Amino acid sequence: MIKMFIALLLTFASIAKAQTSFAFAGNTADAYDRLPMPKSSNRDSQALQLLQQSVDKMGGLTAIRAIPGWKIHLRVTQAANNTTHIARWEVVGDEFRVEHLSSDASKMLKAVTTGQGNASTQSGTTTTPLPFHTVRSWIVPQMAAQLLEKAIDDPEYSLDLLKVDANSNQTIIRIVNTKTPLTRLTTPELWYFDNTTMLPALVCIRQYRPNDFTHHALMTFAMSNFTLRDGVLIPFHSTLQIGEFVLETADVVSVKTNEAIPNSRFAALR
């Protein structure tokens, strides 16, 4: 299932490249993705300062660091057929569990967990292992504040200011986890910020096939409708697309950032 999904994404990406570049990001996403990856952490001082400004706008480092865990319920609409389902995320640090439920939340469709080192996906009675790079490349755009806070706090994240464009009113920063050769290859993120508000507007990430590092798709998450919850601004609407192809939209049903989540929630699926 996962392999088929990623293969479909890569097919869409190749079609999109032949027709147009990202609707929001223009030609810059493809161009910057081709830049050499840093072999070690490069902490550009301007990029760091701008990230700190953005995080301050979203609530500040103190408030974000104090979050014990995230519980996010989303209503997801598939663009291809206009069907909806519920995605229920639980995240603490690098561990996450996401459950995809029917639109009325009465039936489990699929679950994915990092599994405390044994990542897997489960659909019905079938459980399939997932490689490290697949789950680590997934992001939850509703957690933008914490994703940026981590890049600020962890010196192994390389930060590069790629562009400040007055014409498009955008600032573009590349963030890469340089801890290992694998993370350097699979974790680059291109963050686009609105120059007026310094809130993140869009992030592009790489998605590789589970067993193929020769091709990847650039998946784009656009963020909007920032809403204050528990002292942190959270984008209540997001759109996932590749090129001009919108795959899905997601709207927050509920979000909690002030509840502890037990480690057992991230255990390997059986």
Q: Where in the chain are the domains? A: 2-266
Which pLDDT band, with edges at 50, 70 and 90, does 75 fall under? very high
* 62 pLDDT more than 50: yes
Q: Which tops the pLDDT comparison, 211 or 6?
A: 211
Q: Give the 3-state secondary structure of residue 97.
A: strand
Q: Which tops the pLDDT comparison, 150 or 245?
A: 150
CB 99 within 8 A of CB 88: yes
* 17 pLDDT more than 50: no
* 21 pLDDT more than 80: no
pLDDT tens-digit series, residues 139-179: 899 999 999 999 999 999 999 999 888 888 899 999 999 98
Which pLDDT band, with edges at 50, 70 and 90, does 245 fall under? confident
* 6 pLDDT more than 60: no
* 41 pLDDT more than 90: no
Distance, first Cα to last Cα, the chain: 17
Q: Which tops the pLDDT comparison, 3 or 135?
A: 135
Mean pLDDT of the chain, nearest integer: 84
Q: What is the mean pLDDT of residues 45-62?
A: 96
CB 24 within 8 A of CB 222: yes
Q: Give the 3-state secondary structure of residue 243.
A: coil
Q: What predicted TM-score, i.e. pTM, was given to this entire model?
A: 0.86
What is the pLDDT at residue 190?
93
Q: What is the mean pLDDT of residues 59-87?
A: 93
Q: How far is Cα 70 from Cα 146, in angstroms, rounded to an integer? A: 10
Q: What is the DSSP code (8-state) at residue 82?
A: -
Q: How far is Cα 95 from Cα 168, in angstroms, rounded to an integer? A: 36
What is the pLDDT at residue 14?
35
Q: Give the 3-state secondary structure of residue 202.
A: strand
Q: What is the mean pLDDT of residues 56-84?
A: 94
CA separation, residue 56 to residues 87, 151, 211, 258 (Å) = 28, 14, 39, 19
Six-digit token pair at 88? 């229920």
Thinking of the domain 2-266, which architecture would CATH place it in? Clam (2.50)
Among residues 153, 188, 136, which one has the least CA distance to residue 30? Answer: 188
Which pLDDT band, with edges at 50, 70 and 90, does 256 fall under? very high
Instruction: Tell me the percentage of the chain whose pLDDT exceeds 70.
Output: 89
**Please, which residues have CB within 8 angstroms of residue 144's CB and are 6 or more apart in sequence?**
58, 200, 203, 223, 234, 235
What is the pLDDT at residue 192?
95
